[in-house]
Amino acid sequence: MPRMRILTVNEQEAFNKPPPFDHRDRKKFFDFPKSLLAVAATMRNPDHQISFLVSCGYFRATRRLYAPADFVDRDVAYVASQLDHSVPSGFHYPDRTRQRHQQTILDFYGFTPFDLSASAALATEIATMARMHLKPRLIFDRCVDFLIQRRVQVPSAHRLNDLIRASLHERKAELIALMDSQLPAETRNLLDDLFTSPDAQNGYRLTLLKRLSQSTSPSRIKEAVADFAILSELHHQLGDILVQLDLGTAGIRYFAGGVLRSEIFQMRRRDQNDRYIHAAAFVAHQFYRCQDNMVDLWLSVMASFKTAAARDYQETLVQERQNQQRQIEIVVNGLEVSVFGVLRDIQSVMSAANLSDAEKVTATVALLSQGQPEDFDRLKDDFAATASDAGWHDILEARSLRLQNRLSPLLRALNFMPNKRAAALLDAIDHFKADGDLSASHAPMDFLDVGQRAVLVRGDGTFRVSLYKVFLFHAVTTAIKSGDLNVEQSYKYRPMDAYLIDKDRWQYEKGHLLERAGLTEFTDPASVLATLNSALTSQYQATNGRAANNPHLKLRKDGTFHIGTPAIDAREPDPLGDLFPQRHDVPLAQVLETVNNHCGMLLSFEHWQQTHVRQATSHPALLAGIMGLGCGIGVRKMARISTSVTESELDHTVNWRFSLENIRAANDAVVKAMGAMELPNLYRQTQDQLHTASDGQKFEVRGDSLHASRSFKYFGQGQGVSAYTFVDERNFLWHSLMISAADRESAYVIDGLMCNDVVKATSIPPTPTVTPRLSLA
């Protein structure tokens, strides 16, 4: 079995060697305080003085101590020139003296050596990260940060690698021992059945359970519910062993990811207990995903139903308005005859001199009886019907059957957690699942408001069952979105507290957890909020003060404002045009390889598996994968048009190395390298602040997607999604995510802040969907 490789040979050598300093770094790290120079002055040997100060500069930069043989000649010459000494031809630096000086350096900077106690504390931290199944390289980097935060000397890469390997192997051995001792025989047979093929045409059961449908057709929804029933039974039988394994969501995702990327023959070649661990994690993972998928299907179907019903209602209103217009014309014409004509006749009767008063009264009564109030009454009835919601409820009832065909199987399959806020709704859901009597006297209606209860009973006393189910489905949708209805075994729809640290643990370990996270300054939230409120108030005052001098800001009479964007002068020449090559057809592979040479972004594409990685991938395969996926060419076509990459190699590379985490890590490496350059920082308005912005771009989606939504403005009769990207004022694209085109983009600003570890934004201007404020409330 090959040994786990955490760092490459070049990375390990670079870690164990002193950092490469340029002239700015030497000036920064070899600028010693007087107290440290006084300590060096007490040393009689010039070689000892130079070695001592060079070690101080290196330790200040990396928190590590190096042997004199690794010192860089230019650094030695720089320190020697500061001490007015000649550059030594060879160091005379005994080990005892060097060890004594190293302790002096640690004491001066307030650090402790990496001894047994520090090793034990680091091993505990590594064990915690190993239970989360983080990547070994990420664990290595976090170990360095952990030691620096605890002010402990950073040891060599070899010692850190050994600790990480030992912890990962210990965790794996623990899981295998649990599986070997606690897994019953019937459960073993159950897991073995996943790797059997009941039908040569349908394939293996494990392969069939990998698929999740995103179609909202009734037949595909029923298939999804049938798959969920199988997964639910498997998860129920594996419940005890999953509790004992205690993989957590991170462990479940890790082992299940290996199954999703593996072929059946690859899974069969694994050790038996190792295969059982992966299979159990896969069942749990798919069980969680399947429930999330069903809730997503529910929300998508309900959103489409509301849109279609609203469209029908608008069409009905238009037709009713046309009918009312015709009725008004009839009434107006009738008024000319039955009202104004009668009034003229009455006036003639009253002015007739040859009629007595009794005759005039009789004639007036006869004329009044000739009116036609039925047209006017009919118009009043039409207006009353339009003002009520009767038409809207009729449309909901008419479209209810299509909705029931899709949502009824989902509601019967989903199991929501108990919640006092939704107790009445949960009772109605249970009654629906039990096929209870849906009549006016038996159907639970406590979750409905008074108006909804009133419209459920027709004038003849019959109960509108179809409309009741629409109200029930709508109430479930509202409760899911508000968080009142939650799914316990889920990734996306668990209660909010399930994503947080346990309350009891927080009470007992609050100080320790804040210290580990580096958030001790947030211990007192009142003072933090007061500071933020003061800063926000000051910023609003500064913004409002400068608003009057902004030539592009126009204040309206009603108190609102408008900001105009100045036109770009097309005649303005490009000042940087001469600095770029005139040839505009540079191969994309050459561009990507040049970027990789400066930032090592391809190192971020690590294999999904932590162990048993026997082959490294080539740079052409990684570059072909980036271009094939990024340019929409596809993996197979990219392999056919590439000369140095085979289809199997490219498919293996994309399958095992192109995860979302790896892609984001590669992007962070590029952004970090760009941030270290001087040219991009010229675009910053102020060097102590960095402003960022975010916006979305719409893309049409041809296939079935639960994230896609319809928008005639952007996609015509089709549907699409929005690619929400984040940039800073240096034009660094530092994060992106795909959201529904119907969602408001401003709600996702926090995602960019939480998922970013490279760009440190000072402030986030509001997106175009948010109305900016000029004055404080």
Q: Please give the Cα distance from 192 to 33 (Å, whole number).
A: 68
Which range, of 185-194, 301-310, 558-567, 686-695, averages the lowest pLDDT? 558-567
- Going by C-alpha positions, the residue among 281, 280, 287 that lies closest to residue 184 is 280
Quick one: pLDDT at residue 643? 85
**Better-predicted residue by pLDDT, 776 or 112:** 112
Q: In this model, does residue 200 exceed pLDDT 60?
A: no
Q: Cα–Cα distance between 603 and 420 in angstroms, integer?
A: 50
Strand residue runs (E) in 270-392? none
According to the per-residue pLDDT averaged within each range, which of 83-92, 374-383, 572-581, 765-774 is highest?
83-92
Q: What are phi and psi of 678, to 5 degrees?
A: -85, -35
According to the model, what pLDDT value does residue 1 have?
A: 44
Encode burial over 18-46: b for 16+ CB neighbours within 10 A, e otherwise: bbebeeeebeebbebeeebeebbeebeeb
| More confidently predicted of 200 and 83 | 83
Task: Read off the pLDDT of each residue in 100-126 and give the average, rounded to a whole number.
Answer: 92
pLDDT-above-70 percentage for the chain: 89
Residue-wise pLDDT for 437-484, tens only, equals 888 888 899 999 888 888 898 888 889 999 999 999 999 999 999 999
Instruction: Give the pLDDT score at 756.
Output: 77
Residue 389 has pLDDT above 70, yes or no: no
Residue 776 binned pLDDT confidence (cut-offs 50, 70, 90): very low
C-alpha–C-alpha distance, residues 550 and 490, integer Å: 50
* Local confidence band at 372 (pLDDT 50, 70, 90 cut-offs): low
pTM for the predicted model, two decimal places: 0.80
What does DSSP assign to residue 683? G
pLDDT tier for residue 297 given thresholds of 50, 70 and 90: very high
621 touches 649 (CB < 8 A): yes
Asked if residue 766 has pLDDT above 50, the reply is no
Between CA 245 and CA 174 the distance in angstroms is 9
What does the pLDDT look like over 607-629, one tens digit per residue? 888 776 666 788 899 999 999 99
pLDDT number for residue 468: 93
Q: What is the pLDDT of residue 321?
A: 77
Confidence of residue 773 (pLDDT cuts 50, 70, 90): very low
Helix (H, G, I), strand (E, B) or coil at 386: helix
pLDDT at 198 over 80: no
**How would residue 585 be classed by pLDDT, with cut points 50, 70 and 90?**
confident
Between these two residues, 358 and 405, which has the higher pLDDT value? 405
Give the chain's largest Cα–Cα span. 146
Spatial separation of the C-alpha atoms in residues 63 and 68, rounded to whole Å: 16
Greater model confidence, 230 or 753: 230
Better-scored residue on pLDDT, 359 or 178: 178
- 699 forms beta bridges with 721
User: Which segment of 12-26, 223-237, 406-420, 581-595 scores lowest on mean pLDDT?
Assistant: 581-595
Evaluate the CA torsion angle 36, 41, 44, 48 in order and state its sign.
positive
* pLDDT at residue 771, as a whole number: 32
Mean pLDDT throughout 387-402?
82
> Residue 727, SS3?
strand
Q: Look at residue 502 in the predicted model and tell me its pLDDT.
A: 85
Q: Is 529 left (phi over 0), alpha (psi -120 to 50) or beta?
A: alpha
d(CA 286, CA 235): 9
Nearest to 101 by CA among 34, 30, 48: 48
Looking at the predicted structure, is the pLDDT value of residue 270 above 90? no
Domains in the chain: boundaries: 9-109, 116-181, 202-385, 587-669, 678-754
Residue 119: pLDDT over 80: yes
Q: What is the pLDDT of residue 384?
A: 54
- Which of 433, 422, 399, 440 has the alpha carbon at shortest distance from 476? 422
pLDDT per residue as tens digits for the range 679-703: 888 888 887 888 888 999 998 888 8
Distance, CA of 132 to chain centre: 19
For the segment 482-529, what is each residue's pLDDT rounded down to a tens digit? 999 999 889 999 998 888 888 888 888 888 888 877 788 888 889 999
Q: Which amino acid is at 647?
A: E
- Rg of the Cα atoms in the chain: 37
